């Protein structure tokens, strides 16, 4: 399961921030919407500078959609904490890529306002295994799922595994660069997924005229489950250097996060997330990518070769 979206809790103040990796629109396999002379759909993309949002935006444009890329720092300003920004963002939009905040409180009101403004479709980014999660994680995503289902509009939910890109863009990038990733997971596998695959799935669901794809929850993963130890060994070989994986107890993990400066809410969220993973809810691969795109998801080894070629872990 990913977190928001951001995709994981942000690095603590003073820690290295994630590198922005622009998506390559030419890499998209998302199909274009049907023609027929109809006006292009206008899609509001929330968290447009986030890990999936910045991939969804160019893919939507390539698919022929008009895009409103929204965030607190974008030309289309959107702030969950400032409801005055909601109306201008949704006005005229026919679909919304909904990336919820950690706080569930504003989500239902936003969805109701968007539906009243004429939004016809919501595609929600969520996390796989969310239904098994404790109260310390994922409440915003759960609220978004409920609100979309109850909106009276078309909806689809994309529940994703941990992104490949957590290893090279944010959460685990600096530990890997420093030669040690330490987590409380053991030999339980994780079916990591490429954020590019998640973006392709989202774009298809936002633009498709095929309503049989809507009103459904898609669990999207990579093609195989691997342990974190195996993942680290694969990245180390590709980087041509030694990177250690260290197994921690949950107590040791929480202590290391606090020592690194993570705020308590992030410690709780990550601790809750790894409790979910240890129970095996995200271990096995799913066929969500194939259901939507008609192709297999990108393998972890292909991602590692691509990322290692940039020198990110060297």
Mean pLDDT by 10 residues, the chain (314 residues): 42 32 38 50 94 98 96 95 97 97 96 98 96 82 97 98 96 96 96 98 97 98 98 98 98 96 92 92 97 98 98 96
Looking at residue 138, its pLDDT comes to: 87
Looking at residue 12, its pLDDT comes to: 33
Sign of CA dihedral 184, 186, 191, 193: positive
Looking at residue 263, its pLDDT comes to: 94
Question: What is the model's pTM?
Answer: 0.88
* 3-state SS, residue 72: coil
Looking at residue 121, its pLDDT comes to: 98
**Helix spans in the chain (H):** 53-62, 86-90, 107-116, 139-149, 173-177, 195-207, 228-239, 250-259, 264-278, 288-293, 300-308
Contact 202, 125 (CB under 8 A): yes
Looking at residue 34, its pLDDT comes to: 43
């Amino acid at each position: 399961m990913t977190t928001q979206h951001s995709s994981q809790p942000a690095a603590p103040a003073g820690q290295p921030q994630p590198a922005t990796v622009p998506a390559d629109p030419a890499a998209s396999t998302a199909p274009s919407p049907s023609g027929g002379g109809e006006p292009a759909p206008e899609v509001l993309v929330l968290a447009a500078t986030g890990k999936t949002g910045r991939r969804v935006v160019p893919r939507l444009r390539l698919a022929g959609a008009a895009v409103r890329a929204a965030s607190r720092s974008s030309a289309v300003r959107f702030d969950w904490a400032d409801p005055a920004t909601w109306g201008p963002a949704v006005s005229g939009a026919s679909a919304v890529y909904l990336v919820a905040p950690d706080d569930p409180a504003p989500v239902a009101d936003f969805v109701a306002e968007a539906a009243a403004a004429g939004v016809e479709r919501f595609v929600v980014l969520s996390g796989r295994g969310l239904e098994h999660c404790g109260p310390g994680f994922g409440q915003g995503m759960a609220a978004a799922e409920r609100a979309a289902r109850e909106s009276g509009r078309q909806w689809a939910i994309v529940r994703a595994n941990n992104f490949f890109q957590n290893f090279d863009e944010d959460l685990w990038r600096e530990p890997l660069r420093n030669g040690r990733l330490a987590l409380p997971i053991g030999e339980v596998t994780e079916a990591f997924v490429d954020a590019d695959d998640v973006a392709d799935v989202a774009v298809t669901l936002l633009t498709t005229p095929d309503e049989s794809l809507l009103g459904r929850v898609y669990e999207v993963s990579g093609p195989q489950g691997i342990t974190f130890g195996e993942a680290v060994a694969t990245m180390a070989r590709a980087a041509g250097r030694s990177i250690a994986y260290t197994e921690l107890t949950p107590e040791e993990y929480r202590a290391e996060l606090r020592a690194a400066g993570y705020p308590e809410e992030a410690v709780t969220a990550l601790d809750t997330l790894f409790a979910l993973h240890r129970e095996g809810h995200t271990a096995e691969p799913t066929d969500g990518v194939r259901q939507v795109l008609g192709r297999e998801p990108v393998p972890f080894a292909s991602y590692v070769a691509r990322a290692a070629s940039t020198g990110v872990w060297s």
